[in-house]
Amino acid sequence: MPAAAEILTEDQRDCYQELTNVAMGQAADRLARLLNAYVVLPIPKISVIENSDLNMALQGATGDSSVSAVCQGFIGAGISGEAMLMFNDASFASLASLMKYEGPLTQEAELELLMDTASVLIGACIHGIGDQLEIVFNQGHPVVLGQHCDLKDLVAYGNNGWDKALAIEIHYTIEHVNIDCELLLLFTEESVKTLNKKVDYLLD
Partner 1 sequence: MAANSDGINDIHWLMDILQNIDVGLVVLDRNYDVQLWNAFMEGHSGLSPQRAKGENLFSLFPDIDESWFRQKAEPVFQLKTRTFTIWEQRPYLFHFRNSRPITGRSEFMYQNTSIIPLESVNRQADHICVIIYDVTDTAVGKLDVSRANETLSQIQTRDSLTGLLNKSSWLPVLEDYFQSQQPGCLLLMDMDHFRDLNHSIGHQQCDELLRRIGQGLKSLSADNYAARFGGEIFSVILDNHDAASSMELAEKLRRSVLNLGRNSQHDISASIGVAERSDQNGSAMEWLSNADKALYHAKESGRNRTSLFKN
Interface residues with partner 1 (CB under 8 A) are 30, 33-34, 72, 108, 111-112, 115-116, 118-120, 123-124, 127, 139, 141-144
Closest distance of CB 159 from partner 1, Å: 21
Query: Whose Cβ is closer to partner 1: residue 77's or residue 115's?
Result: 115
Closest distance of CB 55 from partner 1, Å: 22
Query: Whose Cβ is closer to partner 1: residue 76's or residue 123's?
Result: 123
Query: Whose Cβ is closer to partner 1: residue 33's or residue 176's?
Result: 33
Closest distance of CB 148 from partner 1, Å: 14
68's torsion region: left (phi>0), alpha (psi -120 to 50) or beta?
beta
Closest distance of CB 138 from partner 1, Å: 10
Cβ of 6: how many Cβ atoms within 10 Å? 10
Closest distance of CB 42 from partner 1, Å: 20
Query: Whose Cβ is closer to partner 1: residue 119's or residue 194's?
Result: 119
Query: Whose Cβ is closer to partner 1: residue 72's or residue 196's?
Result: 72
